[in-house]
Structure 1
Amino acid sequence: MTHDPFHTHRNLLYSLAHDILGSVGDAEDVVQETWLRWHGVDRDRVDNPRAYLVRVATRLALNARDRLHREYAGPWLPEPVPDPAGDPAEDVARAQAVAYGLMVVLETLSPLERAAFILFEAFGFQHREIARILDRSPAAVRQLVHRAREHVQARRPRFPEERAAAQAVAERFLDAALGGSIAGLMEVLAPDVTLRTDGGGRVRAALRPVTGSDRVSRLLVRVAPIDAELTVRWSTGDGPPTAAVFADGRPYAVLVTVTSEDGHHISEVYGVLNPDKLARLAG
């Protein structure tokens, strides 16, 4: 009995769609739609089923991403999950799923830059393969990957001492934010810091990026939980420091912080407050 190539590569398709979209449910929809298209195609005309399936799933994910961002209230940030969903098995040649902090940073790239980076860095596709998937020239793909890598490397602590310093600054920032200390925030925030919050229209959050240490610190103090028992869980993944904040045992926010070049201040803050996106952390 011949095994259906779709089932062979299903985990790859899911992981790819999830890393592009940052949403479990929407990634599952992409996989389902890929299955429907696979079963409607003339198999005799498909020379490389894996390449065909990846191309379909990638394009469906990019289209879904465009629709989600258009229809969303305010900045869109990825949905946090307790552990990377999907099983990187069979032909997925990568050590781990894209770390959540990196997924958040990738949101500031163009859709094509994000897709090219994920295909190249996380799944090991080569430039010519990515060019066929994205319908771009190999030279254009090299530029997409190069720009994306520069963007990510500027925001990801690479060495142990850099990670330790970034973690220390992130903890100072979170202590000040949760403690409602504007003075403490002003000390740790870079003057040109940018804050992006994802409330999804469900909770109070900025609908556009907020820039400047004074404006950011005042906004953070206004949305800080009051009179609640707080618990913080830090992520140890490969990426910027990431903290899940629980108020009275319930998920309140997930925060990702990017450290400035001097290593002593926070230059970017990303906060997911949408309770729908935090639901998977409840367990």
Structure 2
Amino acid sequence: MATIDLRTEIKQFLSSRRARITPERAGLPAYGGNRRVKGLRREEVALLAGVSVDYYVRMERGSLAGASDGVLDALASALHLDEAEREHLYHLARQSRGPGGPRRRRPAATVRPALQQVLDAVTDAPAWICNGRYDVLATNQLARALYAPVLAGPQRPANTARFVYLDPGAAETFFVDYDRIAGDVAAKLRMEAGRNPHDEELIALVGELSTRSELFRRRWASQDVRLHRSGRKRLHHPVVGRLDLDVESMELSAEPGLLLNVYTAPAGTATADGLALLASWAASQEKPATVR
């Protein structure tokens, strides 16, 4: 079975985070002006984390199996990890501790009818469900209209990551902040890889994107990770033009691995008017055919 090489993931993640921290930022004296390493030395990280140099070296070589939560917290603090990076470190450690143990349940490939009913009940906002691989699994009418460029290809389920990296011309037109979106997509896929390194479809997706997109290879190599959270998404829709949307991304507790995404805009704004226009357009496009 294809799987992520955890030792390599751990090594590259820790070394990349160490490389970005200067002694000054870490509160350490920088003796001499000719440092042969970028960022902190291993012994400096060990000092900050309160562990032996040999122990830290073993961790950076990919061995987190014996690291306690206290050691992981100290390491995260020493490397100035943010919330997403801390969570990623814990995911890698948990996977290291139980190589033969129970694996995370594979996310559903389709959504339950009740969830589709929930989406359809949301009539004033685009709402859709995806998994950690960015597969678009279910949408309401307004989301189908909003994400028409993403859904235009024949492949199903449609996949936002493929759209961003393999159709960059259309993606740059659709996403106003294309560079940020591209970085976020790769970082969230990296987060998912740490959470579920045995997901063969995720591994295949990362392999496909790495083979076909140099931009993805660069973003993936950065080792950055992101959480699915609230935010702002600016789109240029081919029918209604510019939309500045507030995004809420929520994990579905009854369906581990699935996310509900809802896009809204404050009343009285140009984007709210644009969504209303988009809803009218969507209704006109999805009228059932007349029975003869």
Alignment TM-score, normalising by the size of structure 1: 0.26
* Bigger Rg, structure 1 or 2: 2
